Amino acid sequence: MGIWQLLLNNEAVDTVDLKTESYEEAHTFFRLRKHLDEKSFNELFVVKKYKRKQKPIGPVDWWKDTSSKLDDF
């Protein structure tokens, strides 16, 4: 399974989770969804596989960045 994005001017306009790893199938899915022929579609859009951003690995010591000075009331 793969998550695919449709880009217009390097901005994601659509993201779908397809049951395929094939670029050709994802390209065809988006092209048919937009009701465009291949030439017109390729002039406007780019199809790319979505890569999730990696979360930091390991513990995060959030309290070390927080000031320990308390407010005066």
Q: Structure pTM?
A: 0.68
pLDDT grade for 67, boundaries at 50, 70 and 90: low
The pLDDT tens digits for 12-22 are: 999 999 999 99
pLDDT in tens, 3-46: 999 999 999 999 999 999 999 999 999 999 999 999 999 999 99
**Both structure tokens of 19:** 């049951």
Nearest to residue 32, comparing CAs of 58, 6, 65, 62? 6
Q: What pLDDT, on a 0 to 100 scale, did the predictor assign at position 40?
A: 95
pLDDT recorded at residue 62: 67
Amino acid residing at 39: K
